[in-house]
Amino acid sequence: MIEEQGGEDTDFIDPNDILAEVPDDGDIPMEEEDDGEEQKDELGSHETSENLVSGFHGHAGKSVFVVSCHPTQPLAVSGGEDDLGYIWDITDGETIVRLTGHSDSVTSATFSSDGEMAATGGMDGKVRVWRRHGKEDYKHWEFLTELQGPDEVTWLRWHPKGTVLLAGSNDSTVWLWQLPSGTTMQVLSGHTGAVQCGEFTPDGKRIITACADGFLILWDPRSPTPIFRLGPRDARFDLGAITSLGVNSSSTLAVVGGESGGIRIVSLSKGVVVGALAGHTEDESVEAIGFIELPGGAAVVSAGTDGQAHIWDLNTMRKRATLEHEDAITAVLSHAAPRSHLVTTASADRTLKTWDARTGKLLSDHKGHRGAVLGASIGLEGSVIVSAGDEGDCYVFTIETDGDQ
C-alpha cells in the first residue's frame, strides 16, 4: 500500500506576486472566419463508425496536433501545422473563430477551467490568449494578449481553480502568467533539457514538471526554488528522457513514464520513488499516463509506442489488463463519473477505442480518420470524444458502452 501525503490547507498564489510586466501590445481585433478556407471531407472513401456524428475540417489538410473541449459548452479548440488555432462548434463543425497570430505550428490549445478564456501555444514561442466577449453566448471571442518568454512552447496548462497559465519550453524553462493582466508570476529554471511534460497538481498548490534530460521537479508556484528534484543520477529513477506524467486526484502521487519504456511512482510528500512498473517493450516510450477511479481504489493507465496500454492497480502494483492497438498509442483519456470506469485510447493506427477499465473489455471503436490520431479530448459532460488527426481533420464521436454504465 502506498503511503499518502497528509493534507495541508495553504493558499495557492497571491495574485500580487508579480515578477515582471508583460508589454501591452494593444487591443488586436479578431480575424473572422473565412468559409472559403474550409475543406469538407467525403467520409465515404474510408471506414467510419456509426457513432461519428460531426467533424471539423478548417485546418485545410494540415496536421492537427491538439484538440481540447470546452468544460461546459459544445465547443472545441484545436491547433495545427497551418499555424492556426480554431474555436469550433462540435455539434456541426461550424467555425466560431480563427485564432491567428502564430508564425509556426500551433502545438498547444486549451480552455481555462471556467471556460472564459482560451490559449494557444506554438513552436514560434508565442502564447496567445483569447476571452469570451459579452455575456450572451459563447460564440463571440476577442483577442486578449500575447505572452512571450519561451523559446518554443511544448505544452500549456491552466490552473484548475483560477486564471493562471503554465507553459513548458524547449529551452528548459517553465513560465507562469496571471490572466487577464498577462503579468509574469514566475520563471522556473531548474531543468537542463526541453521541458516535455508538466501539470498543476489537482489541488492547485504545486507544479510538477519533467524534461528530456530525465529530471522531475516539484515546485511551489510562489517560489523559484524546487521542493525536490529527481534525476538519472538516482539509479532507482533513471528513465531516460521523460515523456509522460500524471498526478492522482489527491495530489499525493505522480506516475512518470520515460523513453526507455519504464514507469516510476513518486511520492510527492517525500520526494522519493515508491514503486516501479514494468510492462512496456524496452526502449518503446511511454507516451501517456492517466489516473482512473475504480471500485477497488485508484488505478493508472500507461500507454506507449509499443501499441499497448496497461491498467495498473496501485494498491498491489500489479497489472489488471492490457489494451492493444495496432500502432503507437498517442493519448489516454480518463472519464469522469458516472463513466469513471471508462478509458479511451487514441492511436497512430487511425482509431480511438473506449474500454471498460474494470475488465479490459473493448466497448467501442471510433473510426473515421485517414491518418494517425494525434490528440483527443472528452466533451459535453463525458458524452462525446473529440479527436485530432494527422491528415488534418477533427472528428466527434458519441460514447457507446452497450449499456455498460
d(CA 312, CA 358): 11
Residue that is written with C-alpha cell 508579480 in the block? 18
φ, ψ at 170 (rounded to 5°):
-70, -15
> Please, how many CA atoms are within 13 Å of residue 377, restricted to the half-sphere of its CB?
22
Residue that is written with C-alpha cell 460531426 in the block? 54
Residue 367: how many other CB atoms lie within 10 Å = 18
Please list, in sequence order, all residues whose beta carbon lies within 8 angstroms of the beta carbon of residue 40, skipping any fewer than 6 positions away: 57
Quick one: pLDDT at residue 148?
A: 86
Q: Return the closest-CA partner of residue 94 out of 378, 394, 399.
A: 394
d(CA 340, CA 393): 28
Dihedral sign (CA 353, 349, 240, 229): negative
Helices (H) and strands (E) in the chain, counts: 0, 32
- Which run of H or E residues covers position 79? strand 75-80
Query: What residue ranges define each of the domains in the chain, with the CATH number in brackets?
Result: 286-400 (2.130.10.10)
Quick one: pLDDT at residue 13?
A: 52
Tell me the three state secondary structure of residue 134. coil
d(CA 129, CA 118): 6
Position 221, amino acid: P
φ, ψ at 276 (rounded to 5°):
-135, 140
Is the separation of the CB atoms in 310 and 346 below 8 Å? no
Per-residue pLDDT of the chain (405 residues; tens, 9 = 90+): 343 333 444 345 554 444 433 333 333 344 444 443 333 444 444 789 899 999 999 999 999 999 999 999 999 999 999 999 999 999 999 999 999 999 999 999 999 999 999 999 999 999 999 999 987 789 999 999 999 889 999 999 999 999 999 999 999 999 999 999 999 999 999 999 999 999 999 999 999 999 999 999 999 999 999 999 999 998 899 999 999 999 999 999 999 999 999 999 999 999 999 999 999 999 899 999 999 988 878 899 999 999 999 999 998 889 999 999 999 999 999 998 889 999 999 999 999 999 999 999 999 999 999 999 999 999 998 999 999 999 999 999 999 755 444
Record the cell numbers describing residue 53, joined without a space: 456524428
d(CA 297, CA 249): 12
Please list, in sequence order, all residues whose beta carbon lies within 8 angstroms of the beta carbon of residue 178, skipping any fewer than 6 positions away: 13, 15, 18, 163, 164, 185
Dihedral sign (CA 313, 319, 320, 324): positive
> Please, how many CA atoms are within 13 Å of residue 341, restricted to the half-sphere of its CB?
16
